[in-house]
Amino acid sequence: MLRKKLMLGALSLTIVSCSHDISAPESIQKNAETSFSSPEKAYPHEKGEIFYLNSKSSNPTRVDFIDGKFIWNNDMILSEDQVAKLNNPNLAERAGSNDLAKRWPDGIIYYTIARNIPDQTRITDAIAHWEANVPSIRFVERTSETNYVMFTVGRGCSSFLGMVGGRQYIFVASSCNTGNIIHEIGHSLGLIHEIQRTDRDSAILINWENIVNEETSHFNTYADDNINGFQFGPFDFNSIMMNGSFDYSSNGLPTIVKLDGSTFLANRSSLSEGDLETVSKMYDHPEINGTSIICDNRSVTYNLDTFVPTAPSWSVSSNLQIISSSNISITVQALDSSTSDEAWIRTDMNGLITTKEIWIGKPLLPTDLIHEPVFTCVGSTITAKILGAETYEWSISRGTINFPALANDNTYVGSSDTISVEPVNDPNGFTVQVKATNSCGETNYFSKFIPTNCNDGDGGSVPL
């Protein structure tokens, strides 16, 4: 059904591309293989139906339909849902969580390896390489989880893009080496190809005249294809997701060169520093920065503390309303400022979920000044603790505040809710006072008389 929609909609629609290899003369391909830069392709020896999703643009996006699968840039398999999103001309509808590659929740990728794959150390080595280098992702052998990757025998090397849902495959042909599998796992985590970066023209020259005609769509940037993509650091020739100079060549001449005209091979030995940074950004949880208390009916803005690889989908608890939101911030307000209640703000970036718990309404203030021991001689600790107060102003009538650091007049003004007091040896006792102020500017005052008795002869605390 989707194929029919694709064909019907092909004239007016948009999106997607990526890049990759094949098509280079056989001699060059062989050379590339022996130097570990073998290009990945899902079906190296087959040609399917070709669809152009963005036929009105100068570089239409190509999707191949082979063996019941939609193939993008030769080695990325797209779900029907992903193809439908690519085929949506309305950019606004594709904002937010509609990005192509969904992340694995908490960076955990459940997986199984089909028993009939020969030389399975290729796969386990590739998994170990990812785990050893990216702390924010983990691979766990699947037991009964619904969403998981199955490594299975294929006719080439290919993977679905991001977490698709349910069982998804990474296809491993006998020609796929460990480096190719590291690359394919990159696709399953949500990476596309390095050449799709929007800044690639600052690092490479594309020799369009050397590219096989049908393959030019693989040289689109993600912006060309209206993808909501991302990139970090400088363009990375060493990325495991980068092509080689001769990929898609029609004539044996390079299709991609560095700005100085030199050629390069694709790295398929290990993840680059840029790869590690990119995946870490994708799977490290960002913090939602902002106050932990919303006072009264004020509107408050919260910001994500890091780069946002995917337009976030914001949600809030039912006692909050969203005033406005963007990719990096959200402004909220309490629905009813007369109540005091727990609340939360959450962002879901294609499976990367962060929650901030907050308090709305009138903040709590200290309700009592606790001191112990109840009766004291020397070296007593006085405490006052409760959610809401942000500053405390401590003073004592006689004796010394030993902790924390004091102003010259032996008082304390700051955020410490605990002070340590050393009273003088005075049978009349002394008084501790504190003014507690919450983030809404409300204050409570406390004053406690604390008797002293040091007549037991050993300096200990003795009740009067």
Q: Catalytic residue numbers?
A: 184
Q: How many residues at the interface with Zn ion, by CB under 5 A?
A: 2
x/- mask, Zn ion, residues 32-51, rule CB under 5 A, reads --------x-----------
| Cβ pair 105, 353 in contact under 8 A | yes
Residues paired with residue 380 on neighbouring β-strands, in sequence order: 421
Residues within window 41-100 making contact with Zn ion, judged by CB under 5 A:
75
CB 141 within 8 A of CB 126: no
The DSSP annotation for 249-275 comes to: BSSSS-SEEETTS---PPP-SS--HHH
Task: Return the sign of the alpha-carbon dihedral for residues 248, 253, 256, 262.
Answer: positive
Helix or strand run (H / E) with residue 132: helix 121-133
CA quadruple 124, 126, 129, 131: dihedral sign = negative
The tokens for 393 are 């102003």
394 Cα distance to chain centroid:
43
Closest approach of Cβ 391 to Zn ion, in Å? 55
* Cα–Cα distance for residue pair 168/150, rounded to 1 Å: 6
Give the closest residue to 380 by CA, choosing from 367, 398, 406: 398
| Contact criterion met (CB below 8 Å) for 198 and 246 | no
Query: Is residue 194 a contact residue for Zn ion (CB under 5 A)?
Result: no
- For Zn ion, which residue has the nearest CB? 75
Asked if 189 and 282 touch (Cβ cutoff 8 Å), the reply is: yes
SS3 71: strand
Element spanning 356, H or E: strand 352-360
Q: Applying CB under 5 A, which residues contact Zn ion?
A: 40, 75
